[in-house]
Structure 1
Amino acid sequence: MLMFFDLAGLTLLAMSFVQTVLAALMPVVRRVPVPDGPGESLNFTFLIPALNEGRVIGATVTTLRSLAPDAHIAVIDDGSDDDTAAVVRALSVHDASITLLRRFSPHARQGKGQALNWAARSLLGGMRAAGRDLTREIVVIVDADGRITPGLLDEARAAMRDPRVSGAQARVIIRPSGNRRGVGFVIGRVLERQQDLEFFVIRSVQRLRHRWRSVGLCGNGQFMRASYLHDQMTQGMAAWPDCLAEDFASGLAMRLDAPHHRMVFLEAAVTQQGLPSLRRFLRQRARWAQGTMQCLPYLPGLWSGRVALGARLDLSYAILAPWLNAVIILCLLTQPLRWLLDMRGIILSPATSLTIAVVNIGLQWQWVLRYHRGHGLTVWPVVFTLASQPLYGMALSLSLPIAYWNHFTGRRTWDKTARHLEPVEPIQAVNGD
């Protein structure tokens, strides 16, 4: 049994190491190619799920309208108790391209996926009634605090010129919260900086996945062709599966639906608020981990369908990671018992263990240096980021037991992320490596 735990843990570490090394080499070897020339004449509909988002929804809709003046914006009020609906309704009075879609109890608050499927059915029905070509209609999912950056829609048009591209995912950048003072501010700044660094690393991972044809969809900045959504719903299938990781699961469903579907990664970004609260951060990451665990039933389809080998391996690693992390946690928790009973599993030589540790630290440090080079490299921010990495790792680890508890006790409640007020100001994407 000990050998099994140790072998599973080493397998996860090896898979993570390979992916990290390859992702680190991506910017050095070759960037993701951006198609040249004018893009397709596409129509964009922004779909924004909102539950008690009165603090941010006005700024989000206003920013979208300024950067996408020809787009249609539909806000799903999923049973809010605050002034979300009133804010959107006030904006729609002066702009016919802004639509408020309201859900009420008992149908509201059943999860983000259900809200998106319900709204998409309504929008697709209107598109078809108007005789619009669904292959040229693109639905863009943006979080209630999401703000697109200039150039994103142009890049999406160019990428989706290929009719085989049914989905795309924009790069994500974290917006820092306002200036505050005190211990809470320091903790919040650590969390926000590390979240932005995490998405910076994910950017390179997505570049790698772009070539492996395993680009992950992550909700905010998610593009989906309306013709694909219509086909899914015509077959009685949900475009966004009913799980806590409906965004990731929607990409898996698209990939397994037909081998010709392609998903691409967009270098232009969508920005979102960071989570400066440890409690809010733990709830979000526990939800992400539990949602990924719910995607386990997709694993057989990845290996029985016509999926490229690189995509099979990468997506299998993503699906299995929360389960294998549980094995690693068990390995660590059983160490005192092993010492007490003189029980041994797989033993690595001191030289091997030291090499693994040094290489891992080196990989983490190169991400930090590369991140700060893109933001204007100075000494103290680099030191701050390096010093706070172990704390961030501990926070991520703390979210896993919460996810396991929720999963095995059958708790599937959507723990919504709270927002904070901020000024209306479009944020430019950071293009550094």
Structure 2
Amino acid sequence: MLMLRGYVNSEILADHRVRPPGATGDVPQDILSGGPVVDTRDGRIGTLRVPDRRLVLTFDDGPDPEWTPKVLDVLKKHDAHAVFFVTGTMASRHPDLVARMVAEGHEIGVHTFNHPDLSYQSPERIDWELSQTQTALAGAAGIRTSLFRPPYSSFADAMDDNSWPVTRHIGERGYLTVLNNTDSEDWKRPGVDEIVRRATPQQGAGAIVLMHDSGGDRSQTVAALDRMLPALEREGYAFHNLSEALDGPSAHTRVLGAELWKGKAWVWLVQASESVTTVLVAGLVVIGALVIGRFALMLLLSALHVRRVRRRGGRWGERPVTEPVTVLVPAYNEAKCIENTVRSLMESEHPVEVLVIDDGSCDGTADIVEAMDLPDVRVVRQANAGKPAALNRGIAHASHDIIVMMDGDTVFEAATVRELVQPFADPGVGAVAGNAKVGNRDSLIGAWQHIEYVMGFNLDRRMYDVLRCMPTIPGAVGAFRRTALERVGGMSEDTLAEDTDITMAIHRDGWRVVYAENARAWTEAPESVQQLWSQRYRWSYGTMQAIWKHRGAILDKGSSGRFGRVGLPLVSLFMVLAPLLAPLFDVFLVYGLVFGPTGATVGAWLGVLGVQAVCAAYAFRLDKEPVRHLVSLPLQQILYRQLMYVVLLQSWITALTGGRLRWQKLRRTGAVEAAPTAGTGARGAAA
């Protein structure tokens, strides 16, 4: 639809070159000294003049939705007929005005489709300009016309060796070429009096008067017309269309059959493209407001979060949390990663019990852990039943009241568990989200996900923490109070995003969910497009499921209602609706590059990218990450974001069609061996 709109609005095919006057050696003298109507049909070479006291008013470049109706009103007021030389682009966009012209007795002429100087165009392009305009006229009024006026034309004596071949070609196609012999020059807007003077023939002579009903402010034209018509009528002038003035047959021929339906289809499609474009522009405004609003909210609330953390000084209660915790590691075929994961927990500065729940692995995952023979590390085996079931099995075997959950491909820093559990000093805290970071960020896909994690996830979590509506405890690093888990029934298998589901359930049960930015976990992100697609498809679809499952919170009272009326709308807007509309940025980028204005389009896109870069740089600063990875941000916006769009669209389709996804195991490489030491950035993420 956008391509059609650009095509119809002359934004790609327009040719604004105008050839200067040339030699006239090839133009017959009868043409140069003849009348304003040139007839080269059927091999003839001749001209026609309008009889005395007859005036043919002609209007070029319309129809215009503002000025053409006013011109028609004045003509109707004075019972005058005229000829409107319309462009195909304007006729396609405003077919109702073309139909009105015909209904009120005016004649229509072709003024090309895109208004180019035809002396620069090939015969094939000229034929296209004619036929495409005729298609628009067929769809708008059910007619075709035999009248033609070339753009940038003037009097007959201005015909030159460049325009004469075009006139011959037009005649061979069955058209009368209608020039003029009285030019109002209204396009210069010289004033009403001057327009009237220039448009008035001398000594009662007949004339074809050139005026315009489009192309800018035509208020002077309308006023001059309203003054001129009664004045000339008193002098005995009659105002006819061309056929009436020449006492000839009508220039219009009725179109029937396939040509008529082809024209109607064309007009309908053009109207649809205008409507769709209007809707898309409205969507662009909405997504622009959402994106800018989200960025502003993230920056403001993240800064507030930083100040709160500084004021708290790391303290959540009267004394720090020092009691042991249970760390659950659900594992399914994690042989390449599980040893790194467990050893990182053994370096913990906080006392931990580690439970590896082997969910029916067939690659010896459980055997590897048992062979390590580490203290306070137990293996619980079960038949394959899925991650939620594995976590519930682990909760049942846990020895402590605070339960940390992590993925089998993740490694913790030594301080991660300690930082993660400190918020439980506040008895109102039911769960804590940690800071998940991409360990294998050396590849391009990894670097893009690193930007996404730091900016899109962790900056978001600071914002949600301040608003007290954290939507997701990441599966890679999160902690829960056992009481909170038991009160909501443990991990649910209702959705594919069990981490989002349990987080929302804990909110609805009245607990606080907070963010511990210093509880860093290094996880292995997907390294192929296929693996990334599978992961994000599950995340997107699972998030939609969780939002739908907990939609009743909107009507709840207390903290559940607060989450429902604050958290759910924000998650729906920023994680589901905004990404669905975000492709409009890129669609209009392509549209602007193809159809123009290119400079303004690129500037606007770079402006949005600049805002994103500022937010990303701020997020990297908060996370104490080197900003060198932001070099790939522009490429991420062009390539990576498109993949995420399609993933979300597929999730929407799955949700709307009632489809059901199954868990999909990602292939791991063991690229993240150990957590980096202080100040090393991503070191330690070695294969």
Question: What is the TM-score normalised by the length of structure 1?
Answer: 0.77
**Of 422, 439, 453, which aligns to 1:175?**
439
Q: Which SS does the other structure have where 1:294 is aligned? A: helix
Say if 2:506 is the partner of 1:254: yes
Partner deviation per Cα, 1:137-178 (whole Å, 9 max, x = no partner): 21111001111223223323432111111100011111126x
**Are the aligned partners of 1:47 and 1:73 in contact in 2 as well (CA < 8 Å)?**
yes
Say if 2:528 is the partner of 1:277: yes
Q: Distance in 1 between matches of 2:616 and 2:355?
A: 38
Q: Distance in 2 between matches of 1:80 and 1:157?
A: 30
Q: Which SS does the other structure have where 1:191 is aligned? A: helix
Q: 1:416: Cα distance to partner? A: 1.6
Say if 2:342 is the partner of 1:61: yes
**Of 310, 314, 321, which aligns to 1:40?**
321
**Are the aligned partners of 1:49 and 1:115 in contact in 2 as well (CA < 8 Å)?**
yes
Q: Distance in 2 between matches of 1:305 and 1:354?
A: 48
Partner residue in 1 for 2:473: 217
Partner residue in 2 for 1:118: 393
Where relative contact order (Cα < 8 A, 6+ residues apart) is larger, the structure is 1
Given residue 209 of structure 1, which amino acid in structure 2 is its aligned partner?
Answer: Y
Q: Which aligned pairs between 1:7-406 and structure 2 lie closer than 5 A? A: 10-11=285-286, 13-29=288-304, 31=306, 32-33=308-309, 34=312, 35-36=314-315, 38-68=319-349, 70-91=351-372, 93-95=373-375, 97-104=376-383, 108-109=384-385, 111-120=386-395, 122-123=396-397, 127=399, 137-176=401-440, 189-201=443-455, 202-215=457-470, 216-232=472-488, 237-257=489-509, 259=510, 261-268=511-518, 269-295=520-546, 296-307=548-559, 309=562, 312-319=565-572, 324=577, 328=581, 357=605, 359-370=607-618, 374-377=624-627, 381-406=629-654
Q: 1:425: Cα distance to partner? A: 2.5
Q: Distance in 2 between matches of 1:302 and 1:429?
A: 43
Which has the higher mean CA deviation after the structures are superposed, 27-36 or 210-219?
Answer: 27-36
**Are the aligned partners of 1:168 and 1:263 in contact in 2 as well (CA < 8 Å)?**
yes
Given residue 394 of structure 2, which amino acid in structure 1 is its aligned partner?
Answer: A
Partner deviation per Cα, 1:7-56 (whole Å, 9 max, x = no partner): 67754553343222221234545505153374123321111111110000
C-alpha RMSD of the superposition: 3.5
Q: Distance in 2 between matches of 1:139 and 1:364?
A: 36
**Are the aligned partners of 2:507 and 2:563 in contact in 1 as well (CA < 8 Å)?**
no
Given residue 223 of structure 1, which amino acid in structure 2 is its aligned partner?
Answer: A
Taking only the aligned residue pairs, the percentage that are identical comes to 22
Distance of aligned partners of 1:211 and 1:80 in 2 relative to their CA distance in 1, 3 Å threshold: same
Given residue 426 of structure 1, which amino acid in structure 2 is its aligned partner?
Answer: A
Specify the structure having the higher radius of gyration (Cα).
2
Listed as ranges, the gaps of 5+ residues in structure 1 are: 128-133, 178-187, 336-349
**Are the aligned partners of 1:47 and 1:139 in contact in 2 as well (CA < 8 Å)?**
yes
**Of 666, 674, 677, which aligns to 1:425?**
674
**Are the aligned partners of 1:168 and 1:265 in contact in 2 as well (CA < 8 Å)?**
yes
Q: 1:415: Cα distance to partner? A: 1.2
Distance of aligned partners of 1:114 and 1:405 in 2 relative to their CA distance in 1, 3 Å threshold: farther
Q: Which SS does the other structure have where 2:558 is aligned? A: coil
Q: 1:252: Cα distance to partner? A: 0.4
Given residue 300 of structure 2, which amino acid in structure 1 is its aligned partner?
Answer: L
Q: Distance in 1 between matches of 2:555 and 2:607?
A: 32
Q: Distance in 1 between matches of 2:407 and 2:551?
A: 28
Equivalent residue pairs, number: 385
Question: What is the TM-score normalised by the length of structure 2?
Answer: 0.50
Q: Distance in 2 between matches of 1:406 and 1:304?
A: 29
Q: Distance in 2 between matches of 1:310 and 1:9?
A: 28
Q: Which SS does the other structure have where 1:67 is aligned? A: coil
Q: Which SS does the other structure have where 2:485 is aligned? A: helix
Q: Distance in 1 between matches of 2:445 and 2:633?
A: 10
**Are the aligned partners of 2:294 and 2:574 in contact in 1 as well (CA < 8 Å)?**
no
Q: Distance in 2 between matches of 1:86 and 1:149?
A: 24
